[in-house]
Amino acid sequence: MPAVHPLRAVQYHQGNGDVSKLIAPPYDVLDLAAKDALLKADTHNIVGIDLPHVPAKELGPKDAYENAGKSYRAMLESGILSQRDTPAIFAYRQTYTFEGESLQRCGMVATLDTVPFGNRDGGGILAHEQTFGGPKEDRMALMKALECQSSPIFGLHHDENGSAVKLIHEVMNSRDPDMKAEMGDGITHEVWTIDDDATIARYRSALDGEDVFVADGHHRYNTAINYLTELEANGDVPADHPARRTMFVLVSMSDPGLAIGPTHRVLGGMEHYEIEKFIEVAQGLLNVEPIDNDPQTFGSQIDTLAEREGTNAFGIYDYATGLCFGAWPAVSDPLEIQFPKQSKAWRNLDVAIIQHMIVEEICRPELNNGDPINWAFPHSIDEVLAIGKGEETGSSIAGGGKPQLAIIVRPTPLEAVRDISRAGELMPQKSTFFYPKLATGLWLNPLG
């Protein structure tokens, strides 16, 4: 792992007390209405800085970022935000409910050396998902305007012997948290500040030699690399320059509160789609059979199908009829011929088979004249059904059109994230869903 460092974080309330009305969900899950609601509750909410342009999928107007920078500096000058005098790392606990079970995910906030993605001696920072130009342009404009990293990257590390988890729990069990927040979504955020050298050294030792797998924040970490590269192109950048470090929340893969949810696929806008036509043209590539017409039982029915067939299995939901189906590849290793150089772990990903076989070999050529398919990426069956009713705006189909076909998947295994990252391969977009998201506004990392 690149070296672990404490940071002189910028925080609300000098890092103490209740900051519920000042923090926000990540920028990329918010729309304008959600942003306005947060600012209505408190005009100093971090969303006014972190999300100057909506949606954040492309570069916004220059003055949006300039105004975010002015707001940030004004809050520093007024004392609403302040920077710590001494460096620290921060234990971070999120208490939440997932699939009916109460869980606590615990991690540590620190900075890591800003290095390019990839394997390296002593541990590297590894990517697993593709990135796109528009979001990186947006985040670069913001980083330049703020001279600050406004939200942490979510990183996972192996921690096979559990030493990092043990240390974090020791801290949390020793005293009450310094900072706490609840945003009304059922998730509690708690922070413990750690500034003693002995504990920092113990944590650093626990992570020695480990890879960090980016779970969430690929665009922002790419932006941190690009920001440093641009500084270096314009002159000498000292070894201790803050831009040489990037803020992470580091969570052990052995943490008992780590949960991964599915990201289903909803397809729409296909000119010639009907469920009967889909089943017909899928023959030879995909086996499809009727199952119980209860979308809420897709999970158990897919598990049964996968065990029976010994291969990938999906749920199929037809919006027009409400009919449910189970599906599985008609041949073993269906992407081998198309992608012989990709690892078998990559070729066996549900999301890779959906994108490259179901969408690109069945839906596009046979049901949409070869034209692109419009997508939505809901995380629950309730969201899948809400999209059909026009109620789920947060997961509406990109590109427009009515939802026609939902493909229900199981969560991507953590082992697949690790193996594919180490192989230097990238999964299709929206391959993983680590729940819950990290909060924004508990820490900012100045780069000036």
Residue 263: its pLDDT value, please? 92
Are the CB atoms for 215 and 155 separated by under 8 Å?
yes
Residue whose C-alpha is closest to residue 158's, from 232, 259, 253, 234: 253
Domains in the chain: boundaries = 4-260+434-446, 263-410
- Treating both helix axes as pointing N-terminal to C-terminal, what angle do 218-233 and 133-146 enclose, rounded to 10 degrees? 60
Q: For 424-435, what is each residue's pLDDT tens digit?
A: 888 888 888 889
What stretch of H or E contains 266? Answer: strand 265-268
DSSP string of 145-214, one letter each residue: HHTEE-S-EEEEE--TT-HHHHHHHHHHHHS--SEEEE-SSS-EEEEEEE--HHHHHHHHHHTTT--EEE
Residue-level pLDDT at 429: 80
Q: What confidence category does residue 127 fall into, taking pLDDT thresholds of 50, 70 and 90?
A: confident
Inform me whether the pLDDT recorded for 205 exceeds 70.
yes
Cα–Cα distance measured from residue 16 to residue 316, given in angstroms and rounded to the nearest whole number: 49
pLDDT of residue 20: 98
pLDDT of residue 181 exceeding 90, the answer is yes
Residue 26: C-alpha distances to residues 97, 139, 440 (Å): 19, 12, 6
What tens digit of pLDDT does each residue of 368-385 get?
999 999 999 999 999 999
**Whose structure tokens read 């419009």?**
374
Q: State the Cα–Cα distance between residues 203 and 159, nearest whole angstrom.
A: 11
The angle formed by the CA atoms of residues 223, 229 and 234, to the nearest 5 degrees, is 130
- Token pair belonging to 438: 């990290």
Q: In the predicted model, what is the mean pLDDT of the chain? A: 93
Q: What angle do CA 171, 254, 343 make, to 5 degrees?
A: 145
Q: DSSP character for 129?
A: B
